[in-house]
Structure 1
């Protein structure tokens, strides 16, 4: 009688099947875990890069902490050398452009943990004037970013410098009897404009600074600033307008800087200043015509709305119907700091 091998062969065959199933299962589990792990890493890297370029909370536009419509601004002031404690030595840290230098500083300012590790960048981009220093990118840290330490400036200076404000920094207050409008400044998008505002903070007063025009949203824009379909575009034009020129001082025209689409809360110059406005609505129809140097914090827009509803009288400017305040609203400028997440006043300019 032949050997009964069916049971033995079946057992061996079953064992091989179970072994194969086990190996395949392990391989599938490993592949899934690896995929999830890689996805998490990639998400973290993308989030970090977004924060480094955009700022606090990952916001963009007027509410972003580093400023700019896309968070991609990286502008500085030519012929200016800012001083400060070096966090990256330029002799060992070189780039081809001031924008790359600026972005290296921004990468050290994620907006997650208060002040930036780098708040000042200084770049030498004139090959002839810089000589061996051409391409040097110095990253620095100020004792006070609102009062940057200036080494020298003028046509003979070959350096370009810029500042960056971190979380809770770079906020000024426009104080009126109706409340204080807290404004986040955008030095990376409008460095000349912000330099002027910081200069105002060094004065003892801001005599002549005021709002004189006020136009509400009417039935043209909703409460969030969105344009109502098929509605006109004004008047009213959804803004409050004023001046930041002090009596007795000569105003120097500010060059055109970053001109993003005007959004609700945008603070922008009219022409080269010192006339400015705060927008109560999104104005795509204005097609990026104005330098935006800051944005009102969202919680303070109710103050701007209150001013916009004050009594006005009609007037005509360059064939445009406008609404002028019956009584101008004087304003003073304050420097604002944050303590434990709360805004506090540190300096007042009447």
Structure 2
């Protein structure tokens, strides 16, 4: 064998060895990943990542899709079980992260793709990077902490979407109106309206629970350098933090509404403020502005109703502001400020329900469709747009008369995964101006016979409010002995496949008009849900000021139907429902 032949044999043997080694490496890699994980490698906003949620991506729709035909070979019971299981999964873009501050504790975060998907992807890349230079370097005690999120090899963002929302307690945004890597966590008790309404920068995450908020508060109290008044408080040495992904549990809990953070701290129902006359147009937990015509420091009344009457007697007053909560008002307790602002409802940037102590009102009636929700009252039966028929789905007169399809769950009830009951009808009025995105999506699905067409709409849970709900006599908090027991005074449900948005991550998916959650409000769920843009929803059985302004309220229940909702019984099996439009709306 000559030298050239020997060299060729050696080269061929080396090449075969490399192929065998490469095949072994690839086999080991793919053996460690499920077939679904192997298919879920996608590009999101320029970031390559592997989705771990086990959901199918179809076009731009990123929600779990159960099969809706008989090709699955599943019985009706099996198909219903599949739908219920899919509902419990987070969306493919949903993610969570942890900021580990060592001995001080950890800060758990929900990353919100509908607020800014590019930022969500960036934080995950930092969490997966081999090395990290992440740190906290600025503190404003009890108010905010600021730092930097960086990872080895992770490229910086240059432009981020800005959700049209006000920043609230526990939310995370990029500092200075930029696109990172400097970030801050807002620790104030209520909405940060002074940062803009909507917020002037990018908000991309929220703290997940009060334990994490306590960690952030401890960090904010660390010693800082001597600082002249009006300048930033900087740590003597930056605090290193480790960033890692916080995986979802393999079996997500069914309790989707167990909120673990107060979006507004220190609030209560302030029952005394509800005694105002109808023409006072009282706005609870609200401070309205205007030119002062009577100073409140020496103008004292025991109730908001008395303050309103004082405004009526004053020749120039059309706005009144009163502080009736002694525990929060302190030196301002009983103060009644009289103001003048004839064009107050011309402003679309008003925040209603964002104060922890003031109650305000106007002598002019707020428009019903004002973006702040100030003019909203529970609708009458003649004002409803659509009806939810809860119980065993049966053809209802106004739907059947127009050929509307109604879902059937025969075989899935009682003996299957659903519990059927005598049908109860709940009527809703959509908020066409306050939540146009949701209203248009649901209305289109209803007109096209897609809403609940596959028996995938359910009432999952009903938890009534206790007599002490929101009482100032109870400590502020979310446990069972506190003012706001987590998950209480709510009805939990889902609008099914057709109620889900199709473009979360492709664009900012936030309604532009933040409003409070009141008794009878219907809103998308955000705590632990797929996204805050549907299809999971809740109905409030009482006022929820502790939820702040971050939930999209897209409808209101007809006043006469609220008691029916409160009387619903849901045990371990969800109640199905169908949806029909009001007869006069049918074309």
Give TM-score, length-normalised by structure 2.
0.27
Give 1 or 2: higher strand fraction. 1
Give TM-score, length-normalised by structure 1.
0.43
